[in-house]
Structure 1
Amino acid sequence: MTATVDATPTVEPAKAHAPVASAGATYVGAALSIVLIALGAIAIRDAAVIFDWVGGRPWSGAAIDAVDGLRPAPWLVPAAVIVALVGLVCVVAALKPRKKIGREVTAHTSVYLEDDAVARLAGTAVRAVPGVLKAHVRASRSTVVVRADVTTTAITSETITAAVREALQPLTRQPSIKVRTKTGGPS
């Protein structure tokens, strides 16, 4: 009689990349696409004029005639500098690393929470504390800020901090928690 051994290996899933914000070049690309669409519309209009589908004079021909025969002028140097700076800004926007927008949650698979989800989770925990009338929560990459209206001074910022810390326990890196309380109730 032989004993069988379960030879199925335990495999850990691969970690996914953290979610990131849109690239800066996205906005530059959107602006340039609008410019190209406008140039395409002008080209279509000029083609319609050339084929006598509509009346008028081609705009591209008028633009060429306007710059034909121009001589160097003093304003060209500052204009060239401005165009060069705009080009440099576009290059920097394209090469700038994207900002991470998620916080990793302790789990067997890759799970991330964005800052607004962290704020909602913390806000739910604060509002569940007995005696909290209302709460406003903001979260950034490293900090959670809570402003809470409470019914009595017995509800301290430490009580609220403990509730938020417990709610955010699944995060791999705990943010700092800042709590401001204001005592007040319905009159």
Structure 2
Amino acid sequence: MTHTLTSPAPAGSGPAMKAARPRTGSGRIGLLGPIMALVLTGLGVVLLHDAVAAADSRPGRTWSAALIDGFDRTTAEWWMIPAGVAIALLGIWMVVTAVRPRSRKTLAVTSQTGLFLRTRDVARLASAAADDVDGVLSAGSVAGRRTVTVTVESDRDGVADVVRTTVEQRLSALAEPPKVKVRVRAHWQSRETP
């Protein structure tokens, strides 16, 4: 009996694992989803009560019949038109909100394994890169998916271009690097002469 040994595939011949998909934020429906769930549950209880009452041989009024009789005695009033328009607009807004895509708060890093950074982590990277520039006393950043705004405090002229270049280099590992905007705040310290 002979055994043949097969050599393992060389490292780097392909991706180590299937690339991950970008994370998405929660849907925009927010509080509205649970409220609608409660309304539909209440409607289901009413319909179940009415079905049991209709199937029972004893006489009795169903809840929906009592509600309809109550509305039957009302007359049209001026406030019903704006209320109806407001309810219709609310319904249209709910439908549009439900079908909107979920927000994406991540940026892809150039890799084969599907690595993503959140926008707040991109802002931290940009701030750290700006802090490393000579002449920058403090740095803060705000990042979105398309732009990163770096605000630095400095007492030197021409630091904005150096900060922009440094931050762009640090963020070059992203698949689609955001545009870098730099704001410089002048920092003048009073210096005492000896």
Alignment TM-score > 0.5, same fold? yes
Query: Quick one: which amino acid aligns to residue 138 of structure 2?
Result: K
Q: Distance in 2 between matches of 1:4 and 1:32?
A: 63
Ranges in structure 2 where 5+ consecutive residues have no aligned partner: 43-62
Matched residue type, 1:126: A
Q: State the alpha-carbon separation in 1 of the partners of residues 130 and 138 from structure 2.
A: 8
Is the contact made by 2:135 and 2:159 (CA closer than 8 Å) also made in structure 1? no
Where does structure 1 differ by over 4 angstroms across 4 or more consecutive aligned residues? 33-37, 63-68
TM-score by length of 2: 0.69
Deviations, residues 43-69 of structure 1 (Å, cap 9, x unaligned): xxxxxxxxxxxxxxxxx9xx9697572
8 Å contact from structure 2 (residues 23, 104) kept in 1: yes
User: Per the alignment, in what secondary structure is the counterpart of residue 168 of structure 2?
Assistant: helix
- 1:4, CA displacement in angstroms? 5.9
Match for 2:32 among 28, 32, 43? 28
Give the whole-Å Cα distance in 2 for the aligned partners of 1:130 and 1:136: 15
Question: Are the aligned partners of 1:133 and 1:185 in contact in 2 as well (CA < 8 Å)?
Answer: no
What is the aligned partner in structure 2 of residue 103 from structure 1? 107
- 2:167 counterpart of 1:172: no
What amino acid is the match of 1:88? I
Aligned-residue Cα RMSD (Å) equals 3.1
> For 2:85, which of 81, 84, 87 is the aligned residue?
81
Q: What residue number does 2:59 align with?
A: none
1:151·1:184 contact (CA, 8 Å) conserved in 2?
yes
Residue 152 (structure 1) aligned with residue 156 (structure 2): yes
Residue 113, structure 1, aligned to residue 125, structure 2:
no
Matched-pair contact (CA < 8 Å) for 2:105–2:145: yes
Q: State yes or no: 1:70 paired with 2:74.
A: yes
Alpha-carbon contact 1:116-1:139 (below 8 Å) kept: yes
1:138: which partner in 2? 142
Segment of structure 1 superposing worse, 111-120 or 67-76: 67-76
Distance, in Å, in 1 between the alignment partners of 2:186 and 2:90 is 52
1:17 is matched with which residue: 8, 17, 21? 21
Residues matched between the structures, number = 162
Scaled by the length of structure 1, what TM-score is found? 0.72
Moved more, 126-135 or 20-29: 20-29
Structure 1, unmatched stretches of 5+, are 40-59
Amino acid of the residue matched to residue 24 of structure 2?
Answer: V
Q: How far apart, in 1, do the equivalents of 2:82 and 2:177 lie?
A: 50
